[in-house]
Structure 1
Amino acid sequence: MVPTPSLRLNVLDQSPVRPGSTPRQALLETVELAQLADRLGYARFWVSEHHNTNMLAGSAPEVLIAHLGGLTRRIRLGSGGVMLPHYSALKVAESFRVLESLFPGRIDLGMGRAPGGDRLTAHALNPANTFSEQDFVNQLLDLQAYLRDERVPDTIHERVQAIPLAATAPELWLLSSSGQSGLFAAHLGLAFSFAQFINGHGAAEAVQSYRARFQPSLELAAPLANVAVFVLCADDETKAQELRAAMELQLLRFGKGERGLFPTPAEVRAYRFSAQDQAQLVYNQSRIVSGTPEQVHVQLTRLAANCGVDEVTAVTITADFADRRRSYELLAEAFALTAATSAAEPVAELAE
């Protein structure tokens, strides 16, 4: 195991639409959390890409990042991630060059190859999408070439540049819940993030394989990895268990193909778990870290050590926004994050 003397903490926010809330409120809550994370000393704040769902409001991370950049001061902002097969590599390179030019040294370009929704929607976004691994790798190579301003004879890169030209480039990350993209990241010399909140098994093996196969690149001299997990931190164990039970029910529903809003405490109390549900709860255990600040500190420190990473990304979803906000505050306190000395202006009050 690799020790983690100074664990960095990140946030991945999916802009969840809470019960009784609206998509606009979900996006405004993401803005408020980004400002909070900036003030509390989190290292990165990533926003996700999802399509054709009433559960999550974030469909265009590059647009949201641009807004967050003007309302924060220090924290790195990124996509967790852009689903690259939906788009041309040139368009993604240019979008993130604009972001990097506006907020130099603060932009992460996290990329994935999952649909971020259903296959029909993926086809609507890009009718030419073949879902081929080789096509994805080719897109990554094109993206690197555009961001490096490579002029490769007899290719598109001989005559086409990604603009604006910039002195710096976004940090490139590959996201994965299976480990396959970790191999791509290692081969291309990119950073790697394993989504343990999606797949509770295999994070340590995936990161170890990535590190063992890593080849230095112009972007990255040494391997850089993190692990993302659901984190629910509360002032006491009773509250933490309440938050965990709601997340467990949501994961059960999602596994059954149910795409409803996040369950309320009343819905959790009324639900009757079957024997099959109980087995799935056990299987999903490692996707969630929950408890008091002291308990969560122990669990996340152990997770980081087991996976050989020095940064962990927290994904927190609750039915009540105050609980979500409080979880991030307690987590920052537990790890003694250094609060920013220059805070961003507060966001406007959430619309009713």
Structure 2
Amino acid sequence: MKLSVLDQSPIRKGSTAREALQETVALAKWTEELGYTRFWVAEHHNVTSLAGTTPEILIAHLAGQTNSIRVGSGGVMLPHYSALKVAENFRMLEALFPGRIDLGMGRAPGGDRVTASLLNPTNTFSEQDLVQQLFDLQNYLNDRYAPGSAQAQVRAMPVPPSVPEQWVLSSTGHSGLLAAHFGMGFSFAHFINPHGGPEAVQHYRSRFQPSENLEEPQVNVAFFVFCSDDPEVVQRQQAMVDYRFLQYELRGRVNPFDYNDLKTVSYSPAEEARIQHNRQRMIMGSSEEVKKQLLKMADQYEVDELMLVNVASEFEERLESYRLLAEVFELKGVIA
């Protein structure tokens, strides 16, 4: 079983965005040493508790600070950008770090719709626009366009020695069908939507069309995961993640907070029900308990790679969680 990381650069209460990004760099180095396969960084806008807004810039720094782990976007939100600019960004990254770059793409706003409209005033969130962008992007990355077309006059530069891996990220099955049509990898976000994932992956596989970049279907699945062999630590982190999800659903944003802020919090029956629903998006417990649940989910999805998202409030506990999982899964890292 391969384990990978999706990091959102969470900003802890009393901390700063710079410190959050420094923690992301430290985490990339740590998980590389532990034997993780990929390290992806997310794109969020106008979210005060997350520091990652520009994955393409952060990827360049992370790749320069590491040696072998694959580094990529989880993901670039295509509706905000032109396909040509995305192709240029990732061709530059691939030229600098050949064979190590993943281009993960999504269509969500990565924040609120007002912010999305300012990032790209022409954005209509049209399904056809997304299809066209994926089509254009593959053409730019592979230097192929119909003679006489406007795009045939433009080449995405620089031209690297290889093509970055391309993944479609989604919490629905529909985008999985687009990944299948274009011959791209598919990453299902179980941490966003805990329902319908195995069926979405099955449909992706059954409709997959090989491309010049990917001959066989390639899938991973992402979960919120935290483990500690101290039950009190698990309980504290569970309470904080419950609160985080609920605040985002109720208010559309989450300001940095700590465990002390929850001591006077009480929930209505409706909120308690929502908490129980959200717990389907995460796996928490001791290292053995988490391993058992992750393997169960891997069997349901029929995958051999799991992408782990950890937003624990204490950075040392995030590091330890990833170490425990590397140990229990027997990853081939230098310090595992």
Shared fold (TM-score greater than 0.5)?
Answer: yes
For 1:257 and 1:208, the matched residues in 2 are separated by 35
For 1:165 and 1:250, the matched residues in 2 are separated by 43
Partner of 1:347 in structure 2?
none
For 2:177 and 2:110, the matched residues in 1 are separated by 21
Tell whether the 8 Å contact from 2:225 to 2:284 is kept in structure 1 after alignment: yes
Is 1:231 the counterpart of 2:225? The answer is yes
RMSD: 1.2
Question: Offset at 1:34?
Answer: 0.5
Determine helix, strand or coil for the equivalent of 2:52.
coil
Question: Offset at 1:46?
Answer: 0.2
**What are the within-5 Å matches in structure 2 for residues 60-71 of structure 1?**
60-71=54-65
Is 1:287 the counterpart of 2:281? The answer is yes
Partner of 2:216 in structure 1?
222
Q: Structure 1 pair 123/258, CA: closer, same or farther in 2 (3 Å)?
A: closer
2:81 to 80, 84, 87: 87
Partner of 1:276 in structure 2?
270
* 1:198-230 per-position Cα deviation (integer Å, ceiling 9, x unaligned): 112111111111111111111111111111010
Unaligned segments of structure 2, at least 5 residues: none
2:166 to 165, 168, 172: 172
Question: Offset at 1:249?
Answer: 1.2
For 1:118 and 1:277, the matched residues in 2 are separated by 22
For 1:58 and 1:257, the matched residues in 2 are separated by 20
Partner of 2:22 in structure 1?
28
* The 10-residue stretch of structure 1 (78-87 or 244-253) with the greater mean CA deviation from structure 2: 244-253
For 1:196 and 1:269, the matched residues in 2 are separated by 29
Is 1:250 the counterpart of 2:244? The answer is yes
* The 10-residue stretch of structure 1 (17-26 or 156-165) with the greater mean CA deviation from structure 2: 156-165
* 1:92-127 per-position Cα deviation (integer Å, ceiling 9, x unaligned): 001101100111110000000111111111111111
Determine helix, strand or coil for the equivalent of 1:209.
helix
Is 1:41 the counterpart of 2:72? The answer is no
For 1:130 and 1:71, the matched residues in 2 are separated by 37
Tell whether the 8 Å contact from 1:76 to 1:108 is kept in structure 2 after alignment: yes
Determine helix, strand or coil for the equivalent of 1:212.
helix
Question: Offset at 1:262?
Answer: 4.4
* 1:292-325 per-position Cα deviation (integer Å, ceiling 9, x unaligned): 1100110101111101111000000112111111
* 1:51-96 per-position Cα deviation (integer Å, ceiling 9, x unaligned): 1121111000000000011110110000000001111101100110
For 2:331 and 2:292, the matched residues in 1 are separated by 16
For 1:315 and 1:95, the matched residues in 2 are separated by 25
**4+ residue runs of structure 1 moved beyond 6 angstroms?**
none
Partner of 1:118 in structure 2?
112
* The 10-residue stretch of structure 1 (260-269 or 324-333) with the greater mean CA deviation from structure 2: 260-269
* 1:222-258 per-position Cα deviation (integer Å, ceiling 9, x unaligned): 1111110100111222321221121111111111125
Partner of 1:348 in structure 2?
none
For 1:66 and 1:76, the matched residues in 2 are separated by 12
Determine helix, strand or coil for the equivalent of 1:46.
strand
Is 1:318 the counterpart of 2:312? The answer is yes
Determine helix, strand or coil for the equivalent of 2:58.
helix
For 2:46 and 2:120, the matched residues in 1 are separated by 14
* AA of the residue aligned to 2:221: V
Tell whether the 8 Å contact from 1:249 to 1:263 is kept in structure 2 after alignment: no
For 2:115 and 2:333, the matched residues in 1 are separated by 41
The size of the alignment, in residue pairs, is 335
Partner of 1:50 in structure 2?
44
Partner of 1:143 in structure 2?
137
For 1:156 and 1:326, the matched residues in 2 are separated by 52
For 1:211 and 1:268, the matched residues in 2 are separated by 43
Is 1:12 the counterpart of 2:6? The answer is yes
Question: Offset at 1:270?
Answer: 2.3
Tell whether the 8 Å contact from 2:47 to 2:254 is kept in structure 1 after alignment: no
For 2:179 and 2:145, the matched residues in 1 are separated by 23
Tell whether the 8 Å contact from 2:190 to 2:281 is kept in structure 1 after alignment: yes
* TM-score between the two structures when normalised by the length of structure 2: 0.97
* AA of the residue aligned to 1:166: P
Say which structure, 1 or 2, has more relative contact order (CA 8 Å, 6+ apart): 1
For 1:320 and 1:261, the matched residues in 2 are separated by 16
Tell whether the 8 Å contact from 1:262 to 1:318 is kept in structure 2 after alignment: no
* AA of the residue aligned to 2:214: L
* AA of the residue aligned to 2:128: Q
Partner of 1:208 in structure 2?
202
Tell whether the 8 Å contact from 2:5 to 2:39 is kept in structure 1 after alignment: yes
* TM-score between the two structures when normalised by the length of structure 1: 0.93
Question: Offset at 1:260?
Answer: 2.6
For 2:144 and 2:134, the matched residues in 1 are separated by 14
* AA of the residue aligned to 1:283: H
Unaligned segments of structure 1, at least 5 residues: 1-6, 342-352
